Amino acid sequence: MQDHPLTPDIDWDVPLPSHAAEAMPKLTPTQEIEMRARTVKMLSDLTGKPIEPTEENREQAHHLMEEVVANKTTPDLTSYPNETLAYLGGMVAMYSGMVVRDLADLKLYVVNRLLQETEHQDGKIRMQAIKALGEIDGVDAFKRRTEVTHKAQPIEEVEAELLETLSKLKKITNITAQPITDVEAKVISRDSGDDTAEIYA
């Protein structure tokens, strides 16, 4: 056995939270709603008690959804029953982005709605939705790409290639033009019966 007990490394410059709620990371509205809905579902599975939202619970969930989307903040969910939280969590999971907080969530919401439109009865709307999905950044079904490859070479190889190219150019410029021989046109007359034909050579 060791003579001295093991002592964990402690960061003395990091303050300890005063309570458990303070130690929890900051969550977005979507994340908090999903976390609460998962907790309600887990408790329901453990106790065997089914979750059956009433019409009042549904109205509360719709009101909360509208409030979150309008204010971009999380309302106080502690005062609502589990049935309301479960239904609200189902709404968030279904649309997976209706509660938008940043551009990533907004993009996800747009993609989900376009996927829904691909099942539309009108073929024109289906084709428009499919085309819009293909043009989304990351899908790029109709995007032409130009790739540029950068090749890293040692300076010695670059100099050797430049010298070889210059040598070829020097040979081309040193080629002397072939002498041009003047050819004089001579007229040769030949009698052919009554007609006279002139042949140029």
- Per-residue pLDDT reduced to its tens digit, 47-59: 998 989 899 998 9
3-state DSSP call for residue 170?
Answer: helix
Distance CA 184, CA 146 (A): 58
Task: Give me the phi and psi of 161, to 5 degrees please.
Answer: -65, -40
pLDDT attached to residue 83: 92
Asked whether the beta carbons of 120 and 129 are under 8 A apart, the reply is: yes
Domain boundary assignment for the chain: 24-96, 102-140
pLDDT of 130 > 80? The answer is yes
- Which tokens hold the place of 138? 């990351």
- Which tokens hold the place of 25? 């990371």
Distance CA 97, CA 112 (A): 8
pLDDT of 19 > 60? The answer is yes
To the nearest whole number, what is the mean pLDDT of the chain? 75
Q: Where does residue 61 rank: exposed (0-12), middle (13-18), buried (19+ CB within 10 A)?
A: buried
Please report, for residues 91, 149, 162, 166, the alpha-carbon distance to residue 153 in angstroms, rounded to integers and kept in the order given: 57, 13, 13, 19
> CA dihedral in degrees (101, 106, 107, 108; nearest 10)?
80
Which residues lie across from 190 on neighbouring strands? 197
